[in-house]
Amino acid sequence: MRIGQFFSLKKGRVGQYLSPRVLVVRTPFRQSAGEKCYLGFKRLTEAQKFAQYLAVMGHTFQLRRGQMLPQNYEICLQGNSGLARQLAYWDRADNRSMGDSHDET
Partner 1 sequence: MMKLRLTQYPGAIAQAAQAVNEIDSQIAEIRQRLARLEGNADLIVAFETALKNDNQRKARRYQVLQQDATYEQMLDHLNNLSTQKANALAQLERLRNEFTVAKLEVQLAIAQKLASSETRELVGL
**DSSP states of 47-92:** HHHHHHHHHHTT--EEEEE-SSSSSSEEEEEES-HHHHHHHHHHHH
20, 69, 73, 91: residue in contact with partner 1 (rule CB under 8 A): 91
Which of positions 26-55 make contact with partner 1 (CB under 8 A)?
Answer: 39, 41-43, 46, 49-50, 52-54
Is 68 an interacting residue with respect to partner 1 (CB under 8 A)? no
The residue among 3 and 50 lying less far from partner 1, judged by its C-beta, is 50
How many other β-carbons are positioned within 10 Å of the β-carbon of residue 87? Answer: 19
Q: Give the nearest distance from C-beta 24 to partner 1 in angstroms.
A: 15
Angstrom distance (rounded) from CA 55 to CA 73? 17
Contacts of 65 (CB under 8 A, 6+ apart): 72, 73, 74
Interaction of residue 92 with partner 1, rule CB under 8 A: no
Residues that bind partner 1 (CB under 8 A): 21, 39, 41-43, 46, 49-50, 52-54, 56-57, 83, 86-87, 90-91, 94, 98, 102, 105
